[in-house]
Amino acid sequence: MAIERTLTIIKPDAAGASHIGEIITELERAGFHILAMRKMHLSRAQAEGFYAVHRDRPFFESLVTFMTEGEIVPMALERENAISALRELMGPTNASEAPAGTIRGKFGTSIERNAIHGSDAPETAAVELAFFFSRLELDR
């Protein structure tokens, strides 16, 4: 099994509801090592840049608005099969369909307000990690 790195973001809904600590605990219990982490507030330009791949999708505007409404916590995570393991721990994108034991099942409320983001592929993870963290922060 391969050690991978992935990006996760605790989104404004979960951060604003004081679930940061609970989500970090879930991640660590699942065997994730936190390489880098910060708490920040995205500007509109930053959110548009991060989600540029969705620019032509009908939900782009509401996603950018949501992601700029409060603080977020991006984290660089590492473990064996990190991408698939994180996606399983998060649960389906639509929180109303997420099993109770998943992060989205516990803390999400809708398809948009779903508490957490996770990279979906190694190539995406590399781009997303570089968006939030420098090589210096990620080199160990």
Q: pLDDT at position 51, please?
A: 96
71-120: pLDDT as tens digits? 999 999 999 999 999 999 999 999 999 999 999 999 999 999 999 999 99
26-79: pLDDT as tens digits? 999 999 999 999 999 999 999 999 999 999 999 999 999 999 999 999 999 999
The mean pLDDT value for 11-31 works out to 98
Residue 129 CB neighbours (<10 A): 23
Q: pLDDT at position 125, please?
A: 98
Q: Is 111 exposed, middle or buried (0-12, 13-18, 19+ CB in 10 A)?
A: middle
| DSSP string for residues in 53-103 | GGTTSTTHHHHHHHHTSS-BEEEEEEEETHHHHHHHHH--SSGGGS-TTSH
Does 117 participate in catalysis according to the annotation? yes
State the chain's mean pLDDT as an integer. Answer: 97
- Mutual orientation of helices 82-90 and 122-132 as an angle, nearest 10°? 80
If pLDDT is split at 50, 70 and 90, which confidence band does 2 have?
Answer: confident
Q: pLDDT at position 104, please?
A: 98
Contact criterion met (CB below 8 Å) for 128 and 83: no
Instruction: Kindly name the residue from 19, 33, 54, 117 that is annotated as catalytic.
Output: 117
Q: Is the dihedral of CA 111, 41, 69, 26 positive or negative?
A: positive
119 is written with which tokens? 């990279």
Distance CA 20, CA 97 (A): 22
